[in-house]
Structure 1
Amino acid sequence: MSIIKAMSMMELFPSLSDDERVGLEEQLRDGSAWSVNFGVMLGCSVLLAGLGLLQDSVAVVIGAMLVAPLMTPLIAIGLGLVQGNYDLLRTALQSMWRGVVVGLVLGFLLRVLIPGSELTQQVASRGSANILDLFIAFFAGVAAAYALARPKMSGALPGVAIAVALVPPLTASGIALGSQDWSVALGAFILLLTNVVMIVLGSAMVFRLHGLKTKDLDHKVALSMKRIITGLVVLGVLGMAPLAYRLIDQVKIGQSRPASYPLPEELWSALYQRAEQEKGVDLIRGLRTGDFGIVEVKIFLLADRPVRQVLIDDLEKMVKNHMGADTQLTVRAAQSAPIISSTRVPREMPGIVR
Structure 2
Amino acid sequence: MTNLEEHRVWLRLKEVLRDRLHIAEDKADDDVIDERIRGDIHMKGSNLWILMFAIFIASIGLNVNSTAVIIGAMLISPLMGPIIGIGYGAGINDFALLRRAFKNLAIATLIGLLTSTLYFFVSPLDTAQSELLSRTTPTVWDVLIGLFGGLAGILAVTRKEKTNVIPGVAIATALMPPLCTAGFGLATGHWNYFFGAFYLYTINFVFIALSSFVIVRAFHIAEKKYVDPAVAKRAQRYIIAVAIATMLPSSYLAYQLVGEEVFKSKASAFVNDNLNFAKTNVAQVKINPKTYEIKVFLIGEHISEDTLNNISVRMSNAGLMNAQLKVYQNGERDDVDISTLKADIVTDLYKNAQLKLELKEKEISQLKDQIQATSIHRELHKAIPDELQTLFPKITKCLLSETYLPNVTDQNMSTKRLILNIETKGKLTQNEREMIEKWLKIRTQNNQVELFF
Under TM normalisation by the shorter chain, which class is it? 0.5 to 0.7
The Cα shift of 1:184 comes to 1.2
Aligned to 1:185: 194
Distance 2:57 2:37 in 1: 25
- By how many angstroms is 1:30 displaced? 1.7
Q: Judge which range, 95-104 or 242-251, deviates more.
A: 242-251
Q: In structure 2, the residue corresponding to 1:12 is in which secondary structure?
A: coil
TM-score normalised by length of structure 1:
0.66
Partner of 1:125: 134
In 1, are the aligned partners of 2:84 and 2:212 still within 8 Å (CA)? yes
Displacement of 1:213: 4.3
1:12 is aligned with what amino acid? I
Q: What is the DSSP-based 3-state SS (H/G/I as helix, E as strand, rest coil) of the residue aligned with 2:189?
A: coil
Gap regions ≥5 residues in structure 1: 255-284, 290-295, 297-354
Tell me if structure 2 keeps the 8 A contact 1:15–1:210: no
Query: Within 5 A, what are the aligned runs for 1:255-334?
Result: none
Match of 1:220 in 2: 234
Q: Distance in 2 between matches of 1:286 and 1:183?
A: 17
Q: C-alpha root-mean-square deviation of aligned residues, in Å?
A: 3.0
Conserved in 2, the CA contact under 8 Å of 1:119 and 1:176? no
SS in 2 for 1:38: helix
Partner of 2:257: 243
**1:231 maps onto 2:245 in alignment:** yes
State the Cα distance separating 1:221 from its structure 2 match.
2.1
AA partner of residue 101 (structure 1)? L
Q: Cα gap change, 1:250/1:68 in structure 2, threshold over 3 Å: closer, same or farther?
A: farther
Segments of structure 2 that go 5 or more residues without pairing to the other structure are: 1-9, 227-231, 270-337, 344-349, 351-453
Distance 2:160 2:64 in 1: 37
Q: Where does 1:27-38 land on structure 2 (aligned, <5 Å)?
A: 27-38=36-47
Q: TM-score, normalised by structure 2?
A: 0.52
Counterpart contact for 2:26–2:159, Cα < 8 Å = no
1:208 matched to 2:217 = yes
Runs of 4+ in structure 1 deviating by more than 6 angstroms, as ranges, are: 285-289
The CA deviation at 1:32 is 1.1
Structure 2 counterparts to residues 15-54 of structure 1, below 5 A: 20-54=29-63
Amino acid at match of 2:152: A
Q: How far does residue 248 in structure 1 lie from its aligned partner after superposition?
A: 3.4
Q: Is the 8 A contact 1:45 1:67 kept in 2?
A: yes
Match of 2:331 in 1: none
- The residue type equivalent to 2:23 in the other structure is L
- Matches of residues 80-159 of structure 1 in structure 2 within 5 Å? 80-152=89-161, 154-159=163-168
- Is residue 49–residue 171 contact of structure 1 (8 Å, CA) maintained in 2? yes
C-alpha displacement of 1:250:
5.0
Tell me the residue number matched to 1:55: 64
> How many residues were matched structurally?
258
Residues 172, 185 of structure 1: 8 Å contact kept: yes
Aligned mates of 2:36, 2:23 — CA distance in 1: 22
Q: What is the alpha-carbon distance in structure 1 between the residues aligned to residue 197 and residue 94 of structure 2? A: 31
Counterpart position of 2:22 = 11
How many Å apart are 1:55 and its aligned residue? Answer: 0.8
Contact residue 15 and residue 211 of structure 1 kept, 8 A: no
Change (3 A) 1:215 1:100: closer
Which structure is higher in RCO with an 8 Å CA cutoff and minimum separation 6? 1
Separation (CA, whole Å) in 1 of partners of 2:68 and 2:213? 31
- What displacement does 1:249 show? 5.4
The residue that corresponds to 1:318 in the other structure is none
- Amino-acid identity (%): 25
Change (3 A) 1:229 1:196: same
